[in-house]
Structure 1
Amino acid sequence: MYDSFRPGQVWHDTKGERIQAHGGSLLFVDGTYYWYGENKERSTPGSGIWHWGVRCYSSTDLYNWDDRGLIIPPVPHDPDSPLHPAQGMDRPHIVHNARTGKWVCWLKVWADDGSHLSTVLTADSVLGPYQIVRTGLAPLGMYAGDFDLAVDPVDGKGYYFFERVRSELICADLTDDLTDVTGRYSRHFPQPHPPLVREAPAYFRRRDRHYLITSGTTWYYPNASEVAVAGTYHGPYTVLGDPHPTDPSGTSFRSQVSSVFRHPSEPDLYIALADRWLPHLAEEQSNQTEAFHQLYASGGASFTPPPVDTSVADYVWLPIRFDGDMPLIEWHDEWRVDAR
């Protein structure tokens, strides 16, 4: 049993198995927390397996997690399915549609030919079963990379923040059923090429301020995060800088933020959920990360990243504190919800 968070350490579920919920997010439903993400248990170098579906866990304390299984299983017998294990399915995000009662899940699916097409599924329960309602979707005629979803708590309107691949960040309005885009959108943080392009957007709202934490585009190698703030979903966004200013390596504590969770009862507690994709990359090896950034930038679209073992990736969950408008993510070897 756990009674605290221990960032960067191996995290096991209540059966003693390594938790597999990468690129993940949290939901709080009827007194229970649900943590879902990419199941990477079979994603070892040479396996040809990018994912093994979307796995979900439940908890009542955020420390100890029961495995609830694959809420979106892989489709291993159909190579053309977006859920085939060799397909580059990443970063599931689930939101609830109060109008329809449906749970709506968006998936990023990328292929070796460079295409990035979205798949959308719906379910009557947060634990599924989920059914595909759209696939092969290029929102606004664009290839969509890493993304996040937001639903306004008052009017139920949905927003889709996504990386327009190798270009800029887009905020697009969602349709009333939250399964498509309307055509209204705004553009943010344009950059000429990786690793400058911003990816992995993690949206959260605090009071009347809208925040986006993003990372640079350096494959699974960590880099410095960047946070921006705005008065509306569509901005304009003002870049505030790196929310990890106490990390001397400039690699966001060797992790990448996937989402931000607002605690339902602890006042002003926001938790940054991050993956440490390369747990064996030591802190003193940050110079190797910088060398990789330069190599990636010089290679452009033709660059082929080296294989990594994502089956052993770890998690870095840290509280966010605020200095005025600026969110700050500082290191804690161990911390508790009720003692920050």
Structure 2
Amino acid sequence: MAILSCSANGKNHSFKPGELWPDNNGVHINAHGGGILFEKGKYYWFGEHKTEGEKGNVANVGVHCYSSKDLYNWKDEGIALSVAPEGSGSDIERGCILERPKVIYNEKTKKYVMYFHLEPKGAGYTGALSGIAVSDKVCGPYQYLKAVRPNAGYWAVNYPDELKEKSSKAEGLRFPGDRLPEHPDSMNIVKRDFGKGQMARDMNLFVDEDGTAYHIYSSEENSTLHIAQLTDDYLNYTGKYARFFIGRFMEAPALFKKDGKYYLMMSGCTGWAPNAARSAVADSIFGKWKELGNPCVGEDADLTFHSQSTYILPVQGHPGKFIYLGDRWTPENAIDGRYIWLPVEFEGNRFVIRWKEEWRLE
């Protein structure tokens, strides 16, 4: 298939956003909604494996892994996490929705830990679960452990006391994911989900300099972003979490840190269609976060260059250098999704992303 096969023609020496990106076998890289882990001189790219002709967003294979020493040329390392066969009854049975896998390494346990947004097969987007898997080896295979709603039985550290006693107006209701009839606090969605845990959809992971890990995810029917602290083994939640951008409907979060400040890039909620990106900065991961507007500049900036954020990558050996990783979704044939990688620039206290047809790290 033209979509799958592309000429390798030797090695890549630059980034060409939006073009077919061949791996070492000359096949377009299949790691959508992904993230990067740097380990012992190599980058590892984990992402959703799509299949030819696949429409929408179902997992038929699992999470694909690639490795690279230079970020231009990627070796296919195979499927890191496989979905279970049909009829198995597993949470990650073939046909489930498995999105935005991210992997972090735990120095204490010497384990590689994967999180992903999971929707069990046939349930649409009603599950809003966090799937967790673990491996002794960076490329896997990963063992699926569980799927949970985060922080069941815990209030956010910045949740108003008066709302803890009020009833929820959202009990038993479902919402479209891009709007609510009222402000999320007036509906008290957190109270509705207090016992079973908070909703978690589009997500990312971040490990701070002290080794503390955080899970960042869209919650409360996508209306509000949560940042939650993970336990020392990275396999559970400590119960400490906070809510940000309440009622702003942000998804596709990507968090990074530079010169002691925390930065976030996000998108609005418009389904598969691109929209204007958003950005924010804070002196502490638990806020206060200040919105900075759309970081993209130039033609098609209002559509994030026809892409959606998935990760901001710090480049090893280049202090202060970061790369924006985005997906250009093609829901009518998901395997043809393209990757938009662009350099992140800094202007004062904000970061900026400009389009480049072709570019190099140097």
Aligned to 2:12: 2
8 Å Cα contact 2:343-2:354 kept in structure 1:
yes
Aligned to 2:211: 156
Q: Distance in 2 between matches of 1:209 and 1:138?
A: 26
Among candidates 31, 34, 45, match of residue 24 of structure 1:
34
Q: Distance in 1 between matches of 2:289 and 2:301?
A: 26
Mark the runs of 5 or more structure 1 residues left unpaired by the alignment: 279-306
Q: Distance in 2 between matches of 1:250 and 1:32?
A: 34
Aligned to 1:83: 92
- Report the Cα offset of residue 275 of structure 1: 0.5
Match of 1:250, SS state, is helix
The ranges of structure 1 where at least 4 consecutive aligned residues each deviate by more than 3 angstroms after the TM superposition are 48-51, 136-140
Mark the runs of 5 or more structure 2 residues left unpaired by the alignment: 1-10, 153-196
How many aligned positions are there?
Answer: 304
2:329 is equivalent to residue 277 of structure 1: yes
Q: Distance in 2 between matches of 1:113 and 1:94?
A: 23
2:180 is equivalent to residue 180 of structure 1: no
Q: Which residue identity is paired with 1:232? A: S
Q: Which residue identity is paired with 1:202? A: A
- Report the Cα offset of residue 51 of structure 1: 4.3
Q: Which residue identity is paired with 2:143? A: Q
Q: What's the TM-score once normalised by structure 1's chain length?
A: 0.85
Match of 1:145, SS state, is coil
Q: Which residue identity is paired with 1:315? A: Y
Aligned to 2:79: 70
Matches within 5 A, 1:88-99: 88-99=97-108
- Report the Cα offset of residue 249 of structure 1: 5.5
8 Å Cα contact 2:52-2:333 kept in structure 1:
no
Change (3 A) 1:336 1:122: same
Q: Which residue identity is paired with 2:240? A: R
Match of 2:202, SS state, is strand
Among candidates 299, 310, 317, match of residue 258 of structure 1:
310
Deviations 1:125-144 (A, max 9, x none): 11112112222444431110
Among candidates 316, 336, 355, match of residue 312 of structure 1:
336
Matches within 5 A, 1:27-176: 27-42=37-52, 44-45=54-55, 49-78=58-87, 80-110=89-119, 111-112=123-124, 114-140=126-152, 141-153=197-209, 155-164=210-219, 165-176=221-232
Change (3 A) 1:113 1:104: closer
Aligned to 1:322: 346
Which stretch has the larger CA shift, 126-135 or 317-326? Answer: 126-135
Which stretch has the larger CA shift, 208-217 or 81-90? Answer: 81-90
Q: Distance in 1 between matches of 2:53 and 2:202?
A: 19
- Report the Cα offset of residue 75 of structure 1: 1.3
Deviations 1:150-173 (A, max 9, x none): 1122x2111111100322001111
Change (3 A) 1:79 1:106: same
Which stretch has the larger CA shift, 26-35 or 235-244? Answer: 26-35
- Report the Cα offset of residue 117 of structure 1: 1.1
Change (3 A) 1:79 1:167: farther
Q: Distance in 1 between matches of 2:213 and 2:125?
A: 30
2:253 is equivalent to residue 201 of structure 1: yes
Deviations 1:307-340 (A, max 9, x none): 63211000000000000111100011000111xx
8 Å Cα contact 2:58-2:98 kept in structure 1:
no
Match of 1:199, SS state, is strand
Q: Distance in 2 between matches of 1:95 and 1:331?
A: 29
Which protein is bigger by CA-based radius of gyration?
2
Q: Which residue identity is paired with 2:18? A: G
Matches within 5 A, 1:236-247: 236-247=288-299
Percentage of identical aligned residues:
38
Change (3 A) 1:84 1:317: same
Deviations 1:19-44 (A, max 9, x none): 10111111111111111100013461
Change (3 A) 1:139 1:88: farther
Change (3 A) 1:259 1:236: same
Deviations 1:203-235 (A, max 9, x none): 000011001100011111100110000001111
Q: Distance in 2 between matches of 1:138 and 1:88?
A: 18
Q: Distance in 2 between matches of 1:242 and 1:177?
A: 35
Change (3 A) 1:61 1:126: same
Change (3 A) 1:121 1:50: closer
- Report the Cα offset of residue 185 of structure 1: 1.0
